[in-house]
Amino acid sequence: MTQTQRRIGRSRQFWLVLCLVLGEVLAVASPVSAARRVAQNPADEFHPTLRGIGRAELFRLDTPEPPEKPEKLKPVRDRDADGQKRIDAMAWFMKGRFLEQREEFKAALEAYEKAVQIDPGAAEVYRALIPLAFGLNEADKAMNYALKAVELTPDDFLMLQRVGIHMATKDKVPEAIRLIEQASRSAKLDKLSGQYVSIMRDLALLYLISGQIEKSADAFEVVFDAKTNPEKFHLDFQMKSELEKHQRTTYEAIGQVFLEAKRPDRAIVALERAANTKKSKPGNISYSLAQAYLMTERPDKALDHLQTYFDAQLQSKGKGAYQLLAEILKAQGKSDTLISRLEQLAEKDQFNQTLQFFLARQYVDANRFEDAEARLKKTLEREKGIEGYIGLAALYRRQNKPAELLQALSQAFARESELANAAEDLERELQAINADEKLVTGLLEVGAKQAEGDSPKLDFASSVLLAKIATQNKQYDPAEKFQGARRRDQRTIAEEQPRRLLVSADASS
């Protein structure tokens, strides 16, 4: 045997021994071999606690024979009629949820109604039913369910708020206020939460709509506190954004409510914050600040802010701005400078009709009649306005010129679109006229002359006005005469209307 053959032989022996060793190891490690070893070894050698147990007994499966029928489980307590109702109601409620998700809203509403018919005390069903009923324009039905839900859950502030808002949208403001007030008093409501701020905001707006300024200001105190201290009320981004964007909850709007409620100090704080925001209009806010500072007996500060409004040449506050100027100057003891200040403003803002008319009225009060008439007529030539005609009426009343007075009043009454805004001024002027017996007599005489003849000059507006003045002064015969003139003018207008239409049609053709 060669050396190479001997080397191959030894190599084969080595691999044979290695395979035998590995086979033994694998046999020991496998579950089958493990089971075989357990079966071969006595039980007492496997574990001390199993001594005395035979091999057959160790592996016997003592499973009982299965019963012919499964045993019926018995409930711990029997289901009563109420329990069954709750289960049936829940089934209809779940069906309603399913239908609503599929956008089968009418069917969903019917399912919810079935649920509350079976279980009228199911508050959770009402929460889903009410908004769905409103969404389907079933307002009366929704209201009835809403009131029932409130009875069931008097402390559910979310439900109370939602129902209150729905009431408000249906113009039932008193009922809405009552419900949201109840929500604000709920023991479950955290008074330092965004939800509380939301409820108080809604309440503040409802109070404002209903003219309850003091209560509105009280509710806005909470909103203002939340805007200035959002961390205190744990406001999230959405709530803070709502308070900033809503026109009724801006600092300026809240300041106005404080001002109306005669809380000038709080108004100043809110309005100063408003003035510092980029979106504010400095002129209008300055006007409000002037009002607030005057209320706190700081006329100098008030005048500074009012001047800011004037410098912007705004007209949004109408003649109220010039009346405020008069009040501030009076508080300063400088009323004698009012006309000169108004003249300076009028020179810079010549197209401000309200300012020109207001200055003319000051001329009348100061017996500067020529200046008043010139300014009034010049302004009216540029643009007609009821305030100008009322100003002329005041001038001619003071001068005891009944013919000119009647013409001015007639022109004022003819401007029907402006009557509502000038009603108070016009009524004051009529009261002043009625207090002057001589002037009333002169007006009625002028009217009677204009009503004479086949072609009377008395127009419809003048006849209505004179009939009113005569009646107020208990001169019933002239009143009846002017009433007749009014009816005649009405007939004339009715007769003339078809002819005017024909003329208009011919012209267009």
Find tokens 């805004």 and name the residue: 421
Closest by alpha carbon to 465, among 381, 450, 497? Answer: 450
- Highest mean pLDDT, choosing among 8-22, 41-55, 369-383: 369-383
How far apart, in Å, are the Cα atoms of 307 and each of 48, 299, 433? 107, 12, 36
Q: Does pLDDT of 47 surpass 80? A: no
CA-derived radius of gyration, the chain? 46
Q: Residue 30: pLDDT band by 50, 70, 90 thresholds? A: very low
Spatial distance between the Cα atoms of 332 and 329, rounded to a whole number of angstroms: 5
Q: What is the pLDDT of residues 109-143, one digit of tens each?
A: 999 999 999 998 888 898 888 889 988 988 888 88
Q: What pLDDT, on the 0 to 100 scale, is given for residue 36?
A: 43
> Quick count: other Cβ atoms within 10 Å of Cβ 252?
19
pLDDT at res. 352 = 94
Q: Choose the weakest-confidence range: 200-209, 223-232, 463-472, 475-484.
A: 475-484
Q: Residue 283: pLDDT band by 50, 70, 90 thresholds?
A: confident
Task: Give the pLDDT score at 485.
Answer: 58
> Given this model, what pLDDT does residue 44 score?
46
pLDDT of residue 479: 85
Rounded CA-CA distance 200/221 in Å is 9
Among candidate residues 64, 65, 45, the one with its CA nearest the CA of residue 55: 45
Residue 294: alpha-carbon gap to chain centroid: 30
- Supply angle C-alpha 389, 393, 396, rounded to 5: 135
Query: How is residue 192 written in tokens?
Result: 């330092």
Give 82's pLDDT tier (boundaries 50, 70, 90): confident
Mean pLDDT of 433-450: 93
Instruction: Map tokens 């540029």 to a residue.
Output: 382
DSSP state letter for 72? P
What value does the mean pLDDT take over residues 237-252?
Answer: 92
Handedness of CA 476, 482, 484, 487 (dihedral sign): negative
pLDDT for 304 equals 96
Q: How much is the mean pLDDT over the chain?
A: 83
pLDDT at residue 113, as a whole number: 93
Buried b (16+ CB within 10 A) or exposed e, 208-245: beeebbebbbbbbbbbbebbeebeebebeeebbebbee
> Which tokens belong to 311?
């410098």
b/e 52-67 (16+ beta carbons within 10 angstroms → b): eeeeeeeeeeeeeeee
Query: Cα–Cα distance between 55 and 39 in angstroms, integer?
Result: 7
Look up residue 156 and give its amino acid. D
Whether pLDDT at 207 is above 60: yes
Compute how many other C-beta atoms are within 10 angstroms of the C-beta atom of residue 342: 21
Which candidate, 177, 263, 188, 180, places its Cα nearest to that of 224? 263
pLDDT digits (tens, 9 = 90+) for 334-343: 999 999 999 9
Q: CA 165 to CA 163: how far, in whole Å?
A: 5
The residue among 359, 367, 437, 426 whose CA lies nearest residue 402 is 437
| C-alpha separations of 407 from 209, 402, 432, 433 in Å | 41, 9, 17, 14
CA 258/CA 264 separation, integer angstroms: 7
Read off the pLDDT of each residue in 400-416 and give the average, rounded to a whole number: 93
Q: Which of 375, 334, 371 is closest to 352 using CA atoms?
A: 375
Q: What is the pLDDT of residue 150?
A: 85
pTM score, whole prediction: 0.71
Q: Using an 8 Å Cβ cutoff, are 101 and 71 in contact?
A: no
Helix or strand or coil: residue 210?
coil
Instruction: Output the six-digit token pair for 402.
Output: 């009944």
SS (H, E, C) 308-326: HHHHCCCCCCCCHHHHHHH
Report the C-alpha gap between 202 and 135 in whole angstroms: 21
The residue-averaged pLDDT of 289-304 equals: 97
Tokens of 391: 């100003």
CA torsion sign, 12 to 13 to 16 to 22?
A: negative
Residue 322 pLDDT greater than 90, yes or no:
yes
